[in-house]
Amino acid sequence: MTKPETKGGGARWALFAPALLFAPCAFVYAVFFIWPQASLLAISATDAAGLTLAHYQRFAGDSYYWEILGRTLGLGAAVTAITLVLGVPTAYLLARVQSRWAGFLLLLTTFPLLVSAVVRSFGWMVLFFRDGLLSHGLMALGFADKPVQTMYTMAGVIIALAQVLLPLMILTLHGVFKSIDRDLEYAAMSLGARPIVALGLVTLRLASGGIVAGSLLVFSLAISAFATPSLVGGARANVMATAIYEQAIELLDWPFAAALATILLVTVLALSLAYGALLEGRGEREAAR
Amino acid sequence: MDIQLQNLRKTYGSAVAVADMSAKIPQGRMLALLGPSGCGKTTTLRMVAGFIAPTSGSIRVGATDITTLPAHKRDTGLVFQSYALFPHLSAAENIAFGLRRRGVARAEREQRVTAMLDKLKLSGLADRLPRQLSGGQQQRVAVARALVINPSILLLDEPFSNLDAKLRESTGLEMSRLQREFGLTSIFVTHDQTEAMSIADTIAVMKDGELQQIGSASEIYERPANRFVADFIGRANFLAGRILRREGQDAVAELAAGLEMRLLDPGAAALPGAQGEALLRPEAIALADHASPGSFKATVEQISYQGAIANLHARLADGSAIVASVPPEDARGLAPGKLVGLAPKPAALIWFAKS
């Protein structure tokens, strides 16, 4: 008679166990992410009189802020493009190379991640100053006839941020390429595809989901990056993150800072969803073909 | 077209993956590369496919030397162990892949794909993605994809090892039928000797990159070139012994288990006093009375009933283990601990000198 009871207890436990295991994480997530974000949204849409869209109207009506949003998205696109161009071949080679150095090389690419973005950005500052290595190098090679200032330019921010985020792109893509069976490329070649065609039709096609995921990761991190733009870019390369900092910490305009943060968040979400939908749509079209 | 491998060799640094492999496969025949993992069989196949460049030696298909030809120009049909179906393409698109690369026009392409789907009993499954197919169906798509391009040679890399035992046999026979129907010269890599013996015309046994023996299934089973081949192909008992005397071409050996046996043509090295081992296949042993002359005295340890035969595991007087495959009715009434006589059939022993 006791047996069914213990069994029932076990079944009940089995039912609740996943919820219990999930609870601590859900709790932390709710208290430290969802609640602050909701508060932020609330702050951005209220003033002394109650609900208002005034802060958003201020953003919409001021071309200065549109410019900052545009510059931020441009920065994200440029950094994503650079990390893709540099990251795809590197990750592919690291995933395919048979050498016993492969693991070490991968570790080497992740080393920069162990150093804070602030330190790495300082490194770029040393190179970028009018008197820095880059300027001297370009002059010595004859590409420039007078000192080049890369500090406090968008170009400098893009280069530095691409370097900061490249390891993340490589790590993401490495995992993706590693999971694609090399025999698929061989199969394509044995069926008459030139190696480059096999790479495109099979490997890159199968990696496209991962490439999109890596791009989204780099893009979101790039447009919300703060340390690199503020150190390398300064006031002349104002982006959303630095503008939010300025409003919240220097001008103490919390509601407007919250509105800017919300706009940035919504932009990232919208782009991610659009990207995802694009990918899904393509998948379905191919299945139906 | 016939395939000719000449002194094919592949080394990685000081490690030899394949050492001077030579073989000739006549038009329409199938060669099995058989051996344990790491013996170089897959490396050999991949050199023929063009994925691995040989260190030295040459590969000819018909009159053409293809040793340095890139893989996509080799015109080979290849079936992978993992099938390597393109996961994002349907069964029909997988099969059409090679035709597209060859620029076959749409109408002809569709007609050839449909014919191939029919031939491999995949008709209703054309639009399925590989993950929606069973293992056997995936295997057939992989075969169809390799055959539809009318390749000049067919390469099979352990194509049945991911199928369950029952399916493996029928698929193997079907594969062999298709290979003959298409008249394809083919190379087939396997570690499964039963598979190799049932579908290949010629078997090349490999070990540590070295070719051990090449010949028909019966040659390799009945006249193994060395102890490794004898042990790898089928079940084998090895009985230690010593040559007593020569009698013309033949010799008489004294086995440790306590029997003098005649060896037919053991080779010139089998001189009196030479130590070695005699191969005795389990099915070349008959049950006898334990006192009968010309038989080993053995103690039964275990009897495993297999249906068509019973395997009798026993221990000989010198302590060595022996297996005899006997008709089940002969094994009836035997029990572990019982003393029996095991009589080798005439001319059943093959001598391997101690190296």
The CATH number assigned to the domain holding B335 equals 2.40.50.140
pLDDT(B319) > 50? yes
DSSP B102: T
Is-contact A256 A58, C-beta < 8 A?
A: yes
pLDDT, tens only, A146-162: 887 778 888 889 999 99
Predicted local confidence at residue B65, as pLDDT? 93
Predicted local confidence at residue A131, as pLDDT? 79
Same domain, B223 and B240: no
Q: Regarding beta strands B153-157 and B76-79, do their DSSP bridges make them parallel or antiparallel, or are they unpaired?
A: parallel
Torsion of CA A236, A238, A244, A250, to 10 degrees: 0
Predicted local confidence at residue A289, as pLDDT? 39
What φ, ψ does residue B212 adopt, rounded to 5°? -95, -45
Q: Total domain count for chain B?
A: 2
Task: Residue B18: count other Cβ atoms within 10 Å of its Cβ.
Answer: 27
Q: Is residue A44 part of a domain?
A: no
**Which strand (E) or helix (H) includes residue A174?**
helix A154-178
Predicted local confidence at residue B48, as pLDDT? 95
By residue range, what is the domain housing residue B16? 3-231
pLDDT band at residue A10 using 50, 70 and 90 as cut-offs: low
pLDDT, tens only, A248-262: 888 888 899 999 999
**Which strand (E) or helix (H) includes residue B355?**
none
Query: When comparing pLDDT for B279 and B166, which is higher?
Result: B279
Asked if B72's CB is within 8 angstroms of A189's CB, the reply is: yes
Q: Residues 188-217, chain A: which have Cβ within 8 Å of B?
A: 188-195, 197-198, 202, 205-206
pLDDT band at residue A280 using 50, 70 and 90 as cut-offs: low
Predicted local confidence at residue A271, as pLDDT? 83
Asked if A189's CB is within 8 angstroms of B71's CB, the reply is: yes
Residue type, B44: T
pLDDT(B207) > 50? yes
Q: How far apart are CA B261 and CA B267, in angstroms?
A: 15
Q: Is residue A45 part of a domain?
A: no
Predicted local confidence at residue B284, as pLDDT? 92
Domain boundary among B231, B250, B274: B231
Asked if B149's CB is within 8 angstroms of A193's CB, the reply is: no
Judged on CB neighbours under 10 Å (0-12, 13-18, 19+), A112 is middle
Predicted local confidence at residue B221, as pLDDT? 92
Q: How far apart are CA A166 and CA A86, in angstroms?
A: 8
Is-contact B204 B14, C-beta < 8 A?
A: no
Is-contact B323 B313, C-beta < 8 A?
A: yes
Predicted local confidence at residue A286, as pLDDT? 47
Smallest Cα–Cα separation from A154: which of A55, A61, A244, A237? A237
Helix-helix angle A63-96:A254-288, to 10 degrees: 50
Is-contact B190 B36, C-beta < 8 A?
A: no
Same domain, B325 and B226: no
H helix intervals, B104-245? 106-119, 135-147, 165-181, 193-199, 217-222, 227-232
pLDDT(B7) > 90? yes
pLDDT(B9) > 50? yes
Q: How far apart are CA B259 and CA B294, in angstroms?
A: 7
What φ, ψ does residue B351 adopt, rounded to 5°? -95, 130
CB neighbour list of residue B290: distance below 8 Å, 6 or more residues apart: B297, B298, B339, B340, B341
pLDDT band at residue A14 using 50, 70 and 90 as cut-offs: confident
**Residue A216 vs residues A148, A178, A271, B294: alpha-carbon distances, Å:** 32, 20, 9, 81
By residue range, what is the domain housing residue A172? 54-281
Domain boundary among B212, B231, B250: B231
Mean pLDDT of chain A: 86
- Three-class DSSP category at B245: strand
Domain boundary among B231, B265, B288: B231
Asked if B76's CB is within 8 angstroms of A186's CB, the reply is: no
Residue type, A245: Y
Smallest Cα–Cα separation from A87: which of A22, A26, A163, A152? A163
Same domain, B162 and B243: no
Is-contact B164 B130, C-beta < 8 A?
A: no
CB of B49 within 8 Å of a chain A CB? The answer is yes
Predicted local confidence at residue A2, as pLDDT? 44
Q: Total domain count for chain A?
A: 1
Q: Is residue A159 part of a domain?
A: yes
Q: Which two tokens stand for residue A210?
A: 């991962």
Q: How far apart are CA B183 and CA B354, in angstroms?
A: 43
Q: How far apart are CA B15 and CA B9, in angstroms?
A: 11
Same domain, B266 and B127: no
Point out which residues pair with B296 in neighbouring strands. B342
The CATH number assigned to the domain holding A135 equals 1.10.3720.10
Asked if B101's CB is within 8 angstroms of A190's CB, the reply is: no
Same domain, B191 and B71: yes
Q: Is residue A20 part of a domain?
A: no
Predicted local confidence at residue A281, as pLDDT? 60
The CATH number assigned to the domain holding B95 equals 3.40.50.300
Predicted local confidence at residue A9, as pLDDT? 59
H helix intervals, B182-263? 193-199, 217-222, 227-232
Closest chain B CA to residue A282? B88
pLDDT(A287) > 90? no
**Residue B209 vs residues B31, B48, B206, B225, B228: alpha-carbon distances, Å:** 17, 15, 6, 16, 13
pLDDT(B105) > 70? yes
Measured between beta carbons, which residues in chain A are less than 8 angstroms from residue B69? none
User: How far B67 CA sits from the closest chain A CA (Å)?
Assistant: 15
Q: Residues 55-114, chain B: which have Cβ within 8 Å of A?
A: 70-78, 80, 82, 84-90, 93, 97-98, 101-102
Mean pLDDT of B327-338: 88
Q: Which two tokens stand for residue B192?
A: 């499964």
Smallest Cα–Cα separation from B349: which of B289, B270, B288, B272? B270
Q: How far apart are CA A105 and CA B277, in angstroms?
A: 52
Asked if A181's CB is within 8 angstroms of B82's CB, the reply is: yes
Mean pLDDT of chain B: 91
Share of chain B above pLDDT 90, in %: 61
Same domain, B250 and B348: yes
Same domain, B311 and B270: yes
Segment among A80-89, A151-160, A276-285, B259-268 with least mean pLDDT? A276-285
Point out which residues pair with B277 in neighbouring strands. B240, B352
CA B285 to chain centre: 24
Same domain, B240 and B227: no
Same domain, B35 and B71: yes
Predicted local confidence at residue B84, as pLDDT? 94
